[in-house]
Amino acid sequence: MIALSRLGRFQDSVLVAMSGGVDSSLTAALLTREGRPVIGVTMKTFCYSGVEGPSRTCCGLDGIADAKSVAAQLDMPHHVFDVEEDFTRDVIDDFVSEYAAGRTPIPCVRCNSFTKFRDLLRRADGLGCRWLATGHYARVVGPGAGRPELHRGADDRKDQTYFLWGMPRRALDRLLLPVGDLTKPQVRAEARRLGLDTADKPESFEICFVPDNDYAGVLRRYLPDDHPALSPGAIRLEDGSEAGRHPGYAHYTVGQRKGLPGGFAEPMFVLEIRPSSRDVVIGPRMSLARSRVVAGGVNWLADRPAGGERIGVRIRHGAPIVDADVLEATSTGFSLDLPTPQAAITPGQSAVLYRSDLVLGGGIIVSAGGPPASRVPGRS
């Protein structure tokens, strides 16, 4: 049996964000079992009519139904809130504008940063809830103590702090993350033991408004047919010579290998996207490596690091945390030097900063520097 004594026995009610997955379902179950007054909420973020693809994506229609089912199992109240207008403005519009500008955004970061946590805190206040709980694999140290900290989840393979750096700092003092100390197998085993309907529900990896993974299809619905992002252009080598043509740079991201011209002595990868000329620049793997990172749109969840301090940074989801030396850290951005150059540092993705397990904050990658290899591979 999993105990929640580390959270204390607060008698104040808890608002639990329920996506319809096993993680948030177990979160609700554990808190309910502790005798807390719990209210479940699910956010309807998107209008799914006319959208083809799997219906069991995060926050999808099946997710709403599953959340309701679990709430009924636990005999707890459950509400569905329509946040489509805010979600469209904060997430979908940003997704479209970022791809149109040749960058690769992370909708889940935008959703957590602008739509979910801000709205959930407002809903918690409206429903008289002191606490907010989610099923994220992360840990809050010291909630309710005045200076709480966000730490990485105990299961590094499932750690979700990469997606949480943009949440309002004030949320930490009210946030409970009951599954943050557990592994995914432990979560499923406990959910089965409790008989939750979602115990064996498959995980969803699709973006809720791109269930078929056709990113360009989303852009075609929002951009004019002749937009540069959807218009043909040149695929160029690092020396500027043309290696082929593409149907629109929105189909490409830094580090991509699929869909590039062949006939070279070694595999080629996307190195850069140039929206002004509609060029997609390609080169060998060694040319992907960069040693400088510049990020903007920063959000600090702890005191920002000092210049010259060595910290850790994760530059994409699933990548290892690597050493970074802080060149500058301000209220709006930061720049880092990477002692070991990293491949495919992609504008639009997040750079999240760590001091051991502590999440310092993060930002959106603006650019990556450091000279790439200059040789041009020959075709075989």
Active-site residues: which are they? 111, 208
CA torsion 216→220→226→228, rounded to 10°? -30
Please give the Cα distance from 153 to 336 (Å, whole number).
24
CA angle 117, 344, 327 (to 5 degrees): 75
Please give the Cα distance from 186 to 188 (Å, whole number).
6
For the packed helices 215-222 and 93-100, what is the interaxial angle rounded to 10 degrees? 100
Record the tokens describing residue 168, joined without a space: 């309002």
In the chain, DSSP assigns E strands to 14-17, 38-44, 78-82, 131-133, 138-141, 149-152, 175-176, 233-236, 242-246, 268-274, 279-284, 289-300, 310-314, 322-329, 333-343, 350-355, 358-369
Sign of the alpha-carbon dihedral angle for 289, 293, 296, 299: positive
Give residue 241's Cα distance to chain centre: 36
Sign of the alpha-carbon dihedral angle for 322, 167, 256, 155: positive
Q: Tokens 């009951």, residue?
A: 178
| Per-residue CA distances from 61 to 22, 70, 204, 267, 271 (Å) | 16, 15, 13, 41, 38
| Per-residue CA distances from 380 to 24, 256, 264, 285, 377 (Å) | 52, 21, 5, 17, 9
Give residue 67's Cα distance to chain centre: 22
Q: Tokens 């290696």, residue?
A: 243
249 torsion bin: left (phi>0), alpha (psi -120 to 50), beta (else): alpha
Pairing between β-strand 78-82 and β-strand 38-44 as defined by DSSP bridges? parallel
Please give the Cα distance from 43 to 84 (Å, whole number).
9
